[in-house]
Amino acid sequence: MLTVAVLISGTGSNLRALLEATAAPAFPARVVVVGADREAEGFAHAEAFGIPTFLVAYEQFDSRDEWGGELLEQLAVWKPDLVVLSGMMRVLPPAVVAAWSPRLINTHPAFLPEYPGAHGVRDALAAGATETGATVHIVDNGVDTGPILAQERVAVLPGDDAHRLHDRIKPVERRLLVDVVRRIATRELDLAAASAAALVLSQSRRDEASTPDRP
Ligand code: GRF
């Protein structure tokens, strides 16, 4: 049984989907703890499912690194097999990424590498995109740059504002997230291999870029 820690900042609708899916006896993963960087609304979902919570309040620390240190301590208490960033709106400090990646995944409301960052939905609209999407990826030290595990397109419709568009993206994110966690648990998806493959690919792209053209 794969044990999962979920980190949130907001309403926790992705968390809720994961809690509902993992409550089924046949599902091969369990959420063991939910953490947040602030008093998140989504804690209510954890409480409804009887899952313990922890708060590492970002504002109470002098630096991102110190906050990350406390987050690491909390995760060390629960020792999950996987950490899911599910609407956690903080960039994790390098020490957290080093300790947990590739067993650290994130959901993003755009078709990465398009529209990374905190405003993926708004940015797709501002760019006049006719389609955007949802992505689940391994977290690395960049902002939404890690190896992609699953993604799907979502159409931008006439009259969409950020709220409406995000409301159509979120169900796709939830489905992808639940499916990725299931595939990690059944070992259909090997995070170490996915991460290594992405490294090889980016190295070969760098090599290609630095090889002068031959006549
Ligand atoms: C999701 O779209 C997530 O990708 C983004 O913030 C949203 C969180 O939604 N970073 P919720 O808290 O799961 O409802």
CB-CB contact of 104 with 97 (8 Å)? yes
CB-CB contact of 32 with 15 (8 Å)? no
Q: Is 166 a catalytic residue?
A: no
Which sequence spans correspond to the domains of the chain? 1-100, 107-209
Share of the chain above pLDDT 90, in %: 90
Side-chain-facing half-sphere of 38: CA atoms under 13 Å: 12
- On whether the 107-209 domain is CATH 3.40.50.170, my answer is yes
pLDDT per residue as tens digits for the range 19-31: 999 999 999 999 9
Q: Residues enclosing ligand 1, CB less than 6 A?
A: 8, 10-15, 42, 86-87, 107-109, 170, 173
Contacts of 66 by beta carbon, 8 Å cutoff, 6+ apart: none
Superfamily of domain 1-100 in CATH is: Formyl transferase, N-terminal domain (3.40.50.170)
Residue recorded with tokens 């907001």: 10
Question: In this predicted model, which residue has the larger pLDDT, 197 or 28?
Answer: 28
Distance 167 CA to ligand 1 centre (A): 10
Q: pTM for the full model?
A: 0.93
Q: Do 107-209 and 1-100 fall under one CATH topology? A: yes
By alpha-carbon position, which residue is closest to atom 14 of ligand 1?
A: 13
Contacts of 45 by beta carbon, 8 Å cutoff, 6+ apart: 12, 15, 16, 19, 34
Question: Atom of ligand 1 at shortest distance to CA of 108?
Answer: 4
pLDDT per residue as tens digits for the range 121-173: 999 999 999 999 999 999 999 999 999 999 999 999 999 999 999 999 999 99
